[in-house]
Structure 1
Amino acid sequence: MAGIFRKVYDWLLRTFWATELDVTMLGLQNAGKTSLLRVLSGGEFTVDTIPTVGFNMKRVQRGHVTLKCWDLGGQPRFRPMWERYARGVDAIVFVVDIADIDLLATARDELHSLMERQSLEGIPLLVLGNKSDLPNKVTMDELIDAMDLKNIGHREVCCYGISAKEETNLEAVIQWLMKWAHNK
């Protein structure tokens, strides 16, 4: 009987007090954005994920909060579109492959170029160091330095190490994003 009341309560919350957050996921190609989004939305991790061409959108439901997540392609030809899809969102998530040390400088440059755009000022930024399950990776302190996160201003900036494959730290990601639902 308690299960029925819980379902009715959850339905009432979603129907009358629902909050939807718009989130844009960015990062270079092969950082793990699509895999992360698949796992967050209740799917399974797969090794053979096809690179995103353009963008994907998935909804992640947690209680009365729906995260509408835009996953944008990370190839150079798609990066000029990033700003357009990041304007007016509740949070920007920038995913970095912490095992691909050769691309950290490129990721930093792309992130800083984007964060300098006036149209994105004030939007909270969550940087995720993905692939923490791999052996040759940078630490979170090294990632913070490599991405020069301390010099990104005019917004809250947070950084977590995660593994979409092993689902490491994903609840912390959800909790950080949900914090912005309570600030709406």
Structure 2
Amino acid sequence: MAGLFRKVYDWLLRTFWATEMDVTLLGLQNAGKTSLLRVLSGGEFPIDSIPTVGFNLKQIQRGHVTLKCWDLGGQPRFRPMWERYCRGVNAILFVVDIADRAAIPVAREELHALMSNETLEGIPLLVLGNKSDLPDKLTMDELIDAMDLKNISYREVSCYGISAKEETNLDAVVQWLMRFANR
């Protein structure tokens, strides 16, 4: 009986008190953005994933909240478009491969260039250190320092370590996003 009540309650929330959030997911190529999105939407972790060309759009339902997630390609030719897809969103998620130490300086440069746009002021930022299951990865303190996150202003900035493959800490990501559902 409790299961039936929960289903009816969830349906009522979605029908009458539904909230939709726009979220942009970015980062350099091979950071794991598309894999993360696939796992968050209830799918399997892809063993072989092809690079995103342009963007993907995926909707994820969590209770009465629908997350409309823009997954943007991370190759250099797509980075100039990032700002356009970040305007007016509820939150920006920037994914970093914490096991690819050589890519961190480029990721930092791209993130800071993006965050310097006045059009994005006030939009909360969550930096996700992905691939925490791999050896020789950065710790979260090392990632915060390497990405110079303390110098990003005019918004809330948070940083979590995750593993899309192992589904580590993904509930915390969703909970963080839900805080901004009604903004």
TM-score by length of 2: 0.98
- The CA distance in 2 between the partners of 1:34 and 1:103, in whole Å, is 18
Q: CA deviation at 1:47?
A: 2.1
CA offsets per residue over residues 39-92 of structure 1, 9 Å max, x none? 000000012011000000111111101111100000000000000000000000
2:174 corresponding residue in structure 1: 174
Q: Distance in 2 between matches of 1:178 and 1:17?
A: 14
Question: Match of 2:148?
Answer: 148
Alpha-carbon distance between aligned partners in 1 of 2:39 and 2:77, rounded to the nearest angstrom: 26
Alpha-carbon separation, structure 1, partners of 2:88 and 2:118: 11
2-structure distance, mates of 1:175, 1:7: 21
Q: Which runs of 4+ in 1 moved over 4 A?
A: none
The alpha-carbon deviation at position 118 of structure 1 amounts to 0.4
Q: Point out where structure 2 has 5 or more consecutive residues left out of the alignment.
A: none
Name the SS for the 1:88 alignment partner. Answer: coil
The residue correspondences of 1:71-90 to structure 2 (distance < 5 A) are: 71-90=71-90
State the secondary structure of the residue aligned to 1:127: strand
Moved more, 6-15 or 91-100: 6-15
**Alignment-mate amino acid for residue 21 of structure 1:** M
RMSD: 0.8
Count of aligned residue pairs for this structure pair: 183
Which residue type is aligned with residue 147 of structure 1? Answer: M
SS of the residue aligned with 1:51?
Answer: coil
Instruction: Provide structure 1 residue ranges, at least 5 long, that are not aligned to the other structure.
Output: none
> Letter of the aligned partner of 2:83 in structure 1?
E
Instruction: Name the CA distance, whole Å, in 2 between partners of 1:12 and 1:138.
Output: 44
Under a length normalisation based on structure 1, what TM-score does the superposition of the two structures give? 0.98
What is the aligned partner in structure 2 of residue 7 from structure 1?
7
Alignment of 1:10-25 (within 5 A): 10-25=10-25
Does 1:103 find its partner at 2:97?
Answer: no
- Local SS of the residue matching 2:180: helix
Residue 160 (str. 1) matches residue 160 (str. 2): yes
Name the SS of the counterpart of 2:31 in structure 1.
coil
Shift of 1:2: 3.0
Q: What one-letter code is carried by the residue in structure 1 that aligns with 2:130?
A: N
3-state SS of the aligned residue for 2:136?
coil
- Whole-angstrom distance in 2 between the partners of 1:88 and 1:52: 22
